Structures are given as C-alpha cells and as structure tokens.
Chains A and B, each alone.
Chain A
Amino acid sequence: MFARLKIRLLTIVFLSVTIGLAWCIGLATSEETPKRGGTLTVGMPGDILNFDAFSYTYLVQRTVRTVYNSLMRYDDKLNLLPELVESWEAAPDGLSLTLHLRRGVKFHSGREFTAQDVVANLNRAKDQKTGGHLFNMTQTVASAEAMDKYTVKINYSAVTPEMYDTMTRLYIIDPEAFEDLKKKGAGTGPFKLVEWQPGEYVKFKRHEDYWDKGRPYVDELILKPFNDIDAMVIALESGTVDLVEGVPYKDVKRLSSKFKIARGHEGTSFYTLYCSPKLKPFDDAQVRRAMQYALNRQAIVEAVLYGTTSPTTSAFPPTSLAFDPKFDKYYPFDLEMAKKLIAQAGYPNGFKATVLATTAYPEFAEMAQIFKSDLAKIGVDLTIETLDPAQWYPKLLSGNYQMTFSFAGLSHTDPSQLSLNSAYRLENNPLWEKVPSDYFKAGQEGRTTLDVDKRKKIYADFQVALLEGSWAISVAWRHTFYGLAPYVKGFDSSVDHNIMLDGVWLAK
C-alpha cells in the first residue's frame, strides 16, 4: 500500500513538473511568436497632410511606409536590402542602373506592380510640380526604360554616387492614383487606406496581398493625430493609443519605467544654427566662427535635450563615409575666443542680433535661451523671435534672417545628400549668392566621384570648408523617440525615421 502511494505521489510530481515546464516554455515561445490580429492605434504629433509619398514634408514622410514600399531600403547598419527590387546591377561607369523587380507584388487595387510603374514614378519625380523632395534627387536621371515586365534600366546623365539613396526614397505610388493622391493613398505597402477623417484619424486595414507573406500581423491600424504633444503622451499613458511617435525629450526618462522607449536610427538628423552671410554682422566669417565658440552645445544637450543625445560640430554621423572624429569636436565652447573673434571683426563692444525659432519645434526657443545668456556675457544682445511654421518656412527659404535654429538631415546615408538641405546646397543656396568656392568645389567633386577613398578625402575638405565658413553650424544629434505600450512587439523604424509597422504585433 505504501508502495502504491509512493508511485502515485511520484506520478503527480512528475506530471506537475512536466506541465509546469511546458507552460513556461509555451509562455516563452508565445512571447516570441508573432500573434495575428487586433487593432494598433498610433499617436502622431500633427496630422497627415496628404498621401503623396513624394511630398517632402515631415508629416507625410513619417507614415509613408504604411501605405508604400520603396525600391530598396537600408538596414540599421546601412546595408542595402531588397524591397520592391530583388536584385540590381550598376554599370562600371556609374551611368546606368538595372533593377530586377520582385514578382507578384500587388498594388492595393489588386493590379500587379511592373516595370512601367517604376518608369511612371521616376517621370513623376523628375517633374517640378509633382517631384517633391525627389525632384532634386532625380536631376541626373536622363531616362528610365522598362526592358521587360520586371526589369528597369535607369540611365544617368552623370555619375550619381547617391543613386542607391534615391532608390531607398523612391516610394512607388500606383500611377492610376496619381491624380487623387491628396486624399487617397495607393501603393504596395502593408496597409490599405480605409478611411481618413482629417484631424481625427486615419484608418487602414491589412493589405491581404502584401508581398511579404504573413505580414502585417495586425488586422487594423489607426493613426491618430494630436495637435498637442502633451495630449498625445497622455493618450499613451491612459491607454487610448498603443504607440506614439515623437515622445518629447522631457518625458523619455519618466515614461521608460512603464513603457518601452525605442530610439530612431542614429545620426538621421541633427540640430543646426544657421547664420546668414546676407546680413550684417554675419557677413563676416569671423563673427560666424565666434558663434561656433559661443554655442554651449553640452549645456543644450543636458538642459534642452535631457541628455538623450550628444553634441557635435560635424555634419556627418559616424555611419557616414564622410565621418571623421576630428570634425566632431572642432569648436570647443570658448567665450573668450568668441569675444576675440567678434572684436577682430570690428565689434569690440558686441552687437545686437535676432535668432529665429518656431512653435513647431519648442526646443529651438529653449536652445536660443541658453545661447542668449552666453552671448550676453560677450556683449551680444540677442533677441529671440518665435514664429509659427508657415511664417518660418518663407524665411528659411529666402535666407532673410540673421540666425535661426533649425535641423538638417540625410547626411547619414550618402554624404552628397546633405546638399539637399537648403542651407547646404551648392546652387540656389538661400544664404549665399554663390557658396564659398572651396565648399562648392569639394561638393561638386564628391557628387561626381565613385571611388570611396577619394570621396573620404574630398569630404574631409568639404567639412573644413563648411566649418571654416560656419554659416551652417551643427549643434547636436537629433533623435526621434517612440513610446510603446508593453504589449506592442516587433516595432521598427527605418534609417530615415519612417515608422515600420508591418512587423508589429500585439501580445494581448
């Protein structure tokens, strides 16, 4: 009897342990295995303006990968990955690029994606009225031909080292929807537009014929715009939304105890201070260099950006081939040197100046406050003028300001892309009639040379010209932070800070 009891006891223990182990293993694997279903609600600061993937404005770009795919994309280490293009060959002379498209890709309308669609999109990109931010990127595209249903050959009028960058930013729009892009998105992306109520929400559903089989995992996606960033953060905390893009710096640490905070790709953009050589006293390079010395980047990073990033004087992040550590700390914070340079420029008693900020980016005004208090110590009386975005943009485009805080980007991929930012342009630069010749020469050479070692040397010269000219001053790296509810898994963002929701699933 005792023996039978012993056997029963052992059996019970064995079964319990087995079930317990199986339960734990099941839990562990179920957390890793994406679960299909559910509705993902994403909060965004500001409304979508339209669904034109070529539109430059940030508000369109951040959600572009919801509806569209690009031809290629970069991974986190800037390795090129196939997307709508499966493979490619560049001609040795750099004057043509042949793309082999992925087969069986369907637009949201059900129509198959073919080479003619790539040609149509490239032609649209080259048109001034419709090209948006791709207009400048496609200026060297001489022609594009559909060699067959799935092969496109792009011919260039000049060597274009940034051709792959363009391929990662050319989001393919269904040509049949070109005329109605303001209200309707139509691409090959993971989600299909269902309904858009401007100012309220945008509703999407899963694209059932998405080429990346099995994805997206969620059934439905809702994007909610918020005019007030604090209201957006509260929406995350109260559970109204599952994910937010653009967590303010001040909330990053506080939210990280209850939510997952993901950081966007390093070096995608950086804060800048532009000093216009068009207006006195900034027509003198010594005065502009004085501003470099007077800018306390570390204080700005700690007080305004809450230590979430790092200061820099370089325009190129460590991921760029143009990066050189010696340019990262080119100008130390030195008020004595700043004062000396101002005096040498003919302003021994200082001067009055105005710096612009905008309500769209509240951190600009905060940076300006720190800058103002430091400049006051060397006799520069700085006035801060804060404008709404629609007033600020015309000033940026015209260069009619003494100084303004801003930000720039695109230098994390091909270094020539930096020149797409208006203040860094080689031609039609709003701050110069003609940019300094050393800057122009290096910029031109950099965009027409393919040899990597030569380009490194060229961009070293480019950076020296930029730093000595000091009309576009780097302040600190700029990050985008995303706040995720604990049950949101699989989130990712592209190197260009576009949210990527095809891999997101909800563990609830």
Chain B
Amino acid sequence: MVFYLVNRLVLAVPVLLVASMSIFAMMYIIPGDPAMVIVGPDADPSQLAAVKKEMGLDRPVPVQYLIWLGRVLRGNLGKSFINGFPVAELIMRKVPATFLLTVGAFVVAIAISLPLGIYSALHPESRLGRLATGFNSLALSVPTFWLGILLVLLIGLHWRLLPASGYAPFFSQPMKSIKFLILPSITLGLSISAILARFLQASLMEVLHLDYVRTARAKGLREKVVISRHALKNALITVITVLGMQVGTFMGGAVVTESIFDWPGVGKLMLYAIQSRDYYVIQATFLFVVTTFIIINLVTDLTYAFLDPRIRYR
C-alpha cells in the first residue's frame, strides 16, 4: 500500500508539469495581457511597452515559463500582476470558502441521493419510485444558474427567509455561515444528487440480484440489514467514483454559483484572474485544481479498498 501511494505521488509530478505548460501556453495564445488591463484602452503605446517591460512580459514565453517554474520549485508562486498580493495568500484565503461550499453541496447531494437511490432500487415500479425517477430527470435538466437565480429571487428576496448572497467564515460565525451556505449548497448539490441517485439505483439493483445477497436473505436477515450491511457497500463503489469527481470539480470552484451568491471561492478568483489576464494567479489556481483532483482521485481509489476487501493495492 505504501509503495502504491508513493508511486501515485511520483506520477503526479509529470502530470502537474504538463498541466502547467499547457495552461501557460494557452494563456499566451489568448489575446490580451495584464499590462493592457492595468494601463487601460486609451494608453499610449509607449506606456504600454514600458509597463510590459516592468512586468517582464517582453521576454520570450519559454523564458517566462522557466522563470516562473524556477520560482515555484523554490516555493514561490509569485505575486498578482494586478493587485500585488502574493498568489499563495490569495488562494489560501479562498480555500476555506470553497471547502465549505463543497461540504455543503456534498451534504445536500448525499441527503437527497441516498434515500432516493435506495428507494428507487428497491421499489422501481412503485408510484414513489417513479416520482423519484422523475425528480432525478428534473434535477438533472435544470441549469445551475437558473436554479440559483430562482432561489435568490424567491427565498432571498421575495420571502426573505435566507440571505440572498454573502459569506461568513464558519469557525467565527457558525450560525450566520450556515444561513449563507444553504442556498448555494442546494443550487450545487441538487444536480449532483440526481446523478448520484441514478448511479446508486442502477448499481444497487445489480447488486441485489447477486448470490450473496440472496444468501443473506435466505439466512433470515432483516431487509434493512441486508441492504445496509451487505448490498450497499458494493453498490457504493460506482457512486464513490462519481462523487470523487464532483468533489474535485467543486474544489476547483463552482464559478457560476459563486458569482450568483457572491461566494468568495477559488472559482471566482480564477474568473477574475482570467478576465484580467493575471497570469501567475491563473497558473497557481489551475495547479491547485489539478492537485486537488489528483489527491481526491487517490482518496477515492483508497476508499475502494475499504469498501471491497478484495481490492488490494501493491
């Protein structure tokens, strides 16, 4: 297992290197640079050239990349071209908000998908089962931005049951934080819950027909025990895969949701950085997202071993 872990971490390095080169190249292909954003559309060409030189943007792109890579290897992610903040500081400030939203969406998704998926698998032809399937289809087809705006208008503005937008740090203001968290979590969690419920339903229906489940029933175990202790664990493997990917996506920042709810997460940071061509911030947030995906994939793979003892990594 240790060897497996080390191997996976070592393999992550070339992945990160290729990812950093790709995003660096893409940024320079897209027109515009931070110098233009700073000087504005009415700048004198000589001013623009002077500012570019000051920022080091007049150097060849490969040289700029190597300079940046050298700094990163020494633990320095650089400073924002636009606001001068250290990039690492900018990202670390956003991570708690992103993590909180991810957890909130995760909780909503599990709370909806687990009972829905299990019920649909056990009673697929029942009225409630069909309703659950219908709900899944609706949740899948409703666009996130539409749902978010609807929740803001109805619950935030019209009925004033919850705040329409904003954020509060969880540890310093837990109750206020939860109030702000509810609507964006529902927005993000609802569509994921539909995907998870579908996967769980299909997976569980398959597992319920296996011999060992028939044996468990034949032994006289209660249905609840058969499902929770025997069938669900195997059915969850597919669900864990999907969940892992979704959590990775959320940690990368749910840009639309963060914009609608004014949620100060990594997604919003990346959006601002792209709009203002803040190269170092784009690079660093992109690498953060890739690293998060790598870690979550690894955790997902390790969870398989926990769920299914037959799976062992060497």
Q: Chain A: residues with CB nearer than 8 A to chain B?
A: 47-50, 55-58, 128-129, 131-133, 135-136, 180, 182-183, 196-200, 224, 226-228, 230-231, 234-235, 237-238, 240, 388-397, 406, 420-422, 428
Residue of A135, A227, A393, A422 contacting most chain B CB atoms (<10 Å): A393
Q: Is the CB of B262 within 8 A of A183?
A: no
Could you list 22 examples of A-B contacts with CB < 8 Å? A48-B83, A55-B40, A56-B39, A58-B40, A128-B44, A129-B47, A129-B50, A132-B40, A133-B42, A182-B85, A183-B84, A198-B85, A200-B167, A231-B259, A234-B157, A240-B164, A390-B274, A390-B277, A392-B32, A395-B31, A397-B48, A422-B42
Name the CB-closest residue of A to B265. A199
* Residue among A198, A237, A238, A393 making CB contact with B83, cutoff 8 Å: A198
* Residue among A48, A231, A389, A397 making CB contact with B165, cutoff 8 Å: A231
Give the distance in Å from the alpha carbon of A199 to the alpha carbon of B156 in the complex.
22
With known contacts A133-B42, A198-B90, A234-B157, A390–B85 Cβ distance under 8 A: no
Answer whether residue B10 sits at the interface, using C-beta atoms and an 8 A cutoff: no
Name the CB-closest residue of A to B166. A240
* B242 / chain A contacts, CB cutoff of 8 Å: none
Q: Is the CB of A132 within 8 A of B39?
A: yes
Q: Which residues of chain B in 61-84 are interfacial with respect to chain A, using CB atoms and an 8 Å cutoff?
A: 80, 82-84
With known contacts A389-B275, A390-B277, A136–B44 Cβ distance under 8 A: yes
Q: Is the CB of A57 within 8 A of B262?
A: no
B27 smallest CB distance to A (angstroms): 10
* Residue among A200, A227, A234, A393 making CB contact with B164, cutoff 8 Å: A234
* B30 / chain A contacts, CB cutoff of 8 Å: 390-391
* A420 / chain B contacts, CB cutoff of 8 Å: 42
* B83 / chain A contacts, CB cutoff of 8 Å: 48-50, 182-183, 196, 198
* A393 / chain B contacts, CB cutoff of 8 Å: 32, 36-37, 40-41
* B82 / chain A contacts, CB cutoff of 8 Å: 49-50, 182
| Chain B interface, number of residues (Cβ within 8 angstroms) | 52
Answer whether residue B129 sits at the interface, using C-beta atoms and an 8 A cutoff: no
Answer whether residue B211 sits at the interface, using C-beta atoms and an 8 A cutoff: no
With known contacts A231-B260, A235-B262, A240-B163, A394–B31 Cβ distance under 8 A: yes
Answer whether residue B54 sits at the interface, using C-beta atoms and an 8 A cutoff: yes
Interface string of B124-166 (1 = CB under 8 A from A): 0000000000000000000000000100110011001001111
* A391 / chain B contacts, CB cutoff of 8 Å: 30-32
Given A182-B85, A228-B259, A394-B31, 10 more pairs with CB closer than 8 A: A48-B83, A56-B40, A132-B39, A183-B85, A197-B93, A197-B264, A226-B262, A231-B152, A231-B165, A234-B156
* A180 / chain B contacts, CB cutoff of 8 Å: 84
Q: Is the CB of B37 within 8 A of A390?
A: yes
* A234 / chain B contacts, CB cutoff of 8 Å: 152-153, 156-157, 164-165
B149 smallest CB distance to A (angstroms): 8
Name the CB-closest residue of A to B156. A238
Answer whether residue B51 sits at the interface, using C-beta atoms and an 8 A cutoff: yes
Answer whether residue B198 sits at the interface, using C-beta atoms and an 8 A cutoff: no
Answer whether residue B234 sits at the interface, using C-beta atoms and an 8 A cutoff: no
